[in-house]
């Protein structure tokens, strides 16, 4: 299947990025927008993106001019009549997409493949609106399209097999890895990513931790390229909201109901980077408190030795009545606090990776003890993440349900372990796929963490996936792979 002339309809952030990807690979691109103003915005996206590549020495001016020269912009869909492939990247409203595909079906030559970049809508619904359902696929790129190396190719029950393989070959030509999946809400990546992002918004709304602290916990602690709120702002809160609505409609899983905070921001028009403000955007300068010079401390819990040593080396002293008692734990510490003569001094401390320490305050912890614990964690070179004393604190509460969802997805037969791992690594820039993460954290630890989350929140989908539970019971430390 030869694709040389490609149409892209809709030149917002995604559409413009997709047009750039095709043009960079040497294909001729016809970019279509509704009016001259939208067209100018689309051109601006591509010019800025390729301009940045020149500034960074990744392209020279001649290559940039060639890329821009391969993109023709128009407001007339009729200009797509000769295209070999048309990729749609218009807003996520099914009625709009159906109307567009009917139009493309009329305009394009019969052999043209029509692709949708939908994040979550039914590709089958779009395909069956045309007279060529066999030549309609999902071709799902990730934001920023020029950077993220994954394309999910979504085949429906009626897509011709050579169309799926043709789009897979084209993806390779674009320098992307393709994961072929069936038509289920959210496909692989959004089905795993968006519930995690939504859950972060729920924790923020519940006051478990602050915006920047949650972002820092996931970026520095879990090693993800961006924290959840920075990523939501990149994706667009409206897109995230739409995906959650579609997931909820399909699953009726309470966790897939969009967070009220997300809805509020979308209603207020605070959609993230594209409107200049979303979760981030209006920064209030806050002054770092001067560090307390004299803090006495105690440390409790397993493996306290190294922390005690580090703090003593830094000049801090232990005491019988310390200002703060650091309880090392990966579970809530309130039951330990109530056994102390001064429960207000106890703070839970969960060390995450090498760079983060979650600092959990119970209902009894004093502000002075929290402040002291934060200072002490900074002294030992960790970013403190203040949070409430809740199961999983921040990182495990967000990470473990995501890992559990991946196990359920694989167990349902929707996608292989290799495809799920590759999709999350390449689509979201994660340092490891969920199965790789599960195996490096330890299956038992994740299973037990999920049990603790389930016991506290009674959320059915926090219960460990049966496959995970059975592997732990069988004493296995890795997932069987073919």
Q: Which is nearer to ligand CAA, 48 or 106 (CB)?
A: 48
- The catalytic position among 119, 143, 361, 461 is 119
- Cβ(166)–Cβ(133) below 8 Å: no
Question: Shortest gap between Cβ of 463 and ligand CAA (angstroms)?
Answer: 27
SS3 state at 30? strand
Q: How many residues bind ligand CAA (CB under 6 A)?
A: 21
190 binds ligand CAA (CB under 6 A): yes
Strand pairing partners for 326? Answer: 299, 347
Of the candidates 40, 58, 82, 473, which one interacts with ligand CAA according to CB under 6 A? 58
225 binds ligand CAA (CB under 6 A): yes
- Cβ(344)–Cβ(297) below 8 Å: no
20 is catalytic: no
Question: Shortest gap between Cβ of 154 and ligand CAA (angstroms)?
Answer: 12
226 binds ligand CAA (CB under 6 A): yes
Nearest to 67 by CA among 53, 56, 78: 53
CB under 6 A: which stretch of 223-231, 261-269, 338-346, 398-406 binds ligand CAA?
A: 223-231
Those residues with Cβ within 8 angstroms of residue 375's Cβ, 6 or more apart along the chain or in another chain: 291, 292, 295
- Cβ(357)–Cβ(277) below 8 Å: no
- The catalytic position among 33, 152, 242, 358 is 152
The structure tokens listed for 277 are 């403000």
Distance CA 221, CA 478 (A): 23
The structure tokens listed for 201 are 């918004």
Q: Which is nearer to ligand CAA, 356 or 465 (CB)?
A: 356
Question: Shortest gap between Cβ of 32 and ligand CAA (angstroms)?
Answer: 20
Question: Shortest gap between Cβ of 95 and ligand CAA (angstroms)?
Answer: 19
Those residues with Cβ within 8 angstroms of residue 200's Cβ, 6 or more apart along the chain or in another chain: 214, 218, 227, 228, 229, 232, 398
Q: Which is nearer to ligand CAA, 225 or 466 (CB)?
A: 225
| Residue the block writes with tokens 């019971």 | 473
Q: Which is nearer to ligand CAA, 56 or 458 (CB)?
A: 56
Half-sphere exposure of 5 (CA within 13 A, CB side): 12
Q: Which helix H or strand E contains 192, and what residues bound it? A: helix 189-205
Question: Shortest gap between Cβ of 442 and ligand CAA (angstroms)?
Answer: 25
Q: Which of residues 139-158 bind ligand CAA (CB under 6 A)?
A: 142-144, 146-148
The structure tokens listed for 262 are 């997300």
For residue 157, the tally of other CB atoms under 10 A from its CB is: 10
Distance CA 59, CA 112 (A): 32
Q: Which of residues 403-432 bind ligand CAA (CB under 6 A)?
A: 427-429
Nearest to 357 by CA among 366, 348, 344, 365: 348
Please provide the size of the chain in residues. 482
The structure tokens listed for 328 are 């090392």
Q: Which is nearer to ligand CAA, 59 or 376 (CB)?
A: 59
- The catalytic position among 190, 198, 259, 361 is 190
- Pattern of binders to ligand CAA over 102-141, x per CB under 6 A? -----------------x----------------------
Q: Is 458 exposed, middle or buried (0-12, 13-18, 19+ CB in 10 A)?
A: exposed
Dihedral of the CA atoms 288, 292, 297, 299 (nearest 10)? 20
Q: Which of residues 428-467 bind ligand CAA (CB under 6 A)?
A: 428-429
- Pattern of binders to ligand CAA over 75-94, x per CB under 6 A? --------------------
286 is catalytic: no
Of the candidates 87, 168, 235, 446, which one interacts with ligand CAA according to CB under 6 A? 235
Question: Shortest gap between Cβ of 140 and ligand CAA (angstroms)?
Answer: 6
119 is catalytic: yes
For residue 386, the tally of other CB atoms under 10 A from its CB is: 19
Question: Shortest gap between Cβ of 456 and ligand CAA (angstroms)?
Answer: 29
% helix, strand, coil for the chain, step of 5: 50, 15, 35
Question: Shortest gap between Cβ of 454 and ligand CAA (angstroms)?
Answer: 27
242 is catalytic: no
- The catalytic position among 140, 256, 280, 336 is 140
Of the candidates 239, 259, 365, 461, which one interacts with ligand CAA according to CB under 6 A? 239
Of the candidates 231, 311, 422, 426, which one interacts with ligand CAA according to CB under 6 A? 231
Q: At what angle do helices 260-267 and 189-205 cross, to 10 degrees?
A: 90
Question: Shortest gap between Cβ of 215 and ligand CAA (angstroms)?
Answer: 12
CB under 6 A: which stretch of 49-57, 99-107, 333-341, 450-458 binds ligand CAA?
A: 49-57
In the complex, the residues that contact ligand CAA under the rule CB under 6 A are 49, 52, 56, 58, 119, 142-144, 146-148, 190, 193, 225-226, 231, 235, 239, 427-429
Enumerate the active-site residues.
119, 140, 152, 190
């Amino acid at each position: 299947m030869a694709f040389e002339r490609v149409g892209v309809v809709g030149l917002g952030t995604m559409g413009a990025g997709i047009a750039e990807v095709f043009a960079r690979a040497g294909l001729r691109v016809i970019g279509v927008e509704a009016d001259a103003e939208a067209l100018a915005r689309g051109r601006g996206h591509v010019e800025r993106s390729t301009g940045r590549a020149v500034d960074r020495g990744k392209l020279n001016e001649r290559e940039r001019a060639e890329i821009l020269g391969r993109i023709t912009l128009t407001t007339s869909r009729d200009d797509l009549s000769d295209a070999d492939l048309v990729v749609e990247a218009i807003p996520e409203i099914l009625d709009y997409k159906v109307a567009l595909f009917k139009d493309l079906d009329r305009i394009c030559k019969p052999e043209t493949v029509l692709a949708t970049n939908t994040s979550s809508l039914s590709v089958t619904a779009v395909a069956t609106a045309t007279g060529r359902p066999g030549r309609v696929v999902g071709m799902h790129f990730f934001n920023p399209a020029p950077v993220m190396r994954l394309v999910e190719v979504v085949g429906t029950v009626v897509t011709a097999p050579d169309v799926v393989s043709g789009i897979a070959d084209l993806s390779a030509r674009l320098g992307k890895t393709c994961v072929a999946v069936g038509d289920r809400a959210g496909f692989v990546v959004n089905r795993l990513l968006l519930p995690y992002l939504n859950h972060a918004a729920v924790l923020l709304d519940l006051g478990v931790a602050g915006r920047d602290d949650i972002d820092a916990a996931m970026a520095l602690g879990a090693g993800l390229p961006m924290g959840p709120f920075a990523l939501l702002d990149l994706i667009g809160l409206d897109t995230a909201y739409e995906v959650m609505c579609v997931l909820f409609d399909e699953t009726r899983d309470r966790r897939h109901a969009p967070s009220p905070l997300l809805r509020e921001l979308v209603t207020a028009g605070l959609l993230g980077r594209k409107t200049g403000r979303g979760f981030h955007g209006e920064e209030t300068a806050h002054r770092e408190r001067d560090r307390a010079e004299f803090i006495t401390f105690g440390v409790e819990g397993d493996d306290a030795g190294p922390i005690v040593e580090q703090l003593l080396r830094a000049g801090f002293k232990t005491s019988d009545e310390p200002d703060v008692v650091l309880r090392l734990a990966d579970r809530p510490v309130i039951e330990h606090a109530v056994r102390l003569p001064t429960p207000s001094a106890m703070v839970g401390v969960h060390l995450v990776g090498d760079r983060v320490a979650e600092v959990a305050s119970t209902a009894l912890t004093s502000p002075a003890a929290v402040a002291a614990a934060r200072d002490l964690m900074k002294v030992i070179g960790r970013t403190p993440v203040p949070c409430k004393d809740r199961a999983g604190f921040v990182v495990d509460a967000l990470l473990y349900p995501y890992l559990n969802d991946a196990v359920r997805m694989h167990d349902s037969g929707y996608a292989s372990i290799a495809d799920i791992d590759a999709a999350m690594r390449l689509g979201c820039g994660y340092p490891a796929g969920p199965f790789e993460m599960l195996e490096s954290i330890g299956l038992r630890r994740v299973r037990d963490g999920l049990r603790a989350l389930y016991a506290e929140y009674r959320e059915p989908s926090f219960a460990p996936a049966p496959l995970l539970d059975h592997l732990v019971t069988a004493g296995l430390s890795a997932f069987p792979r073919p």
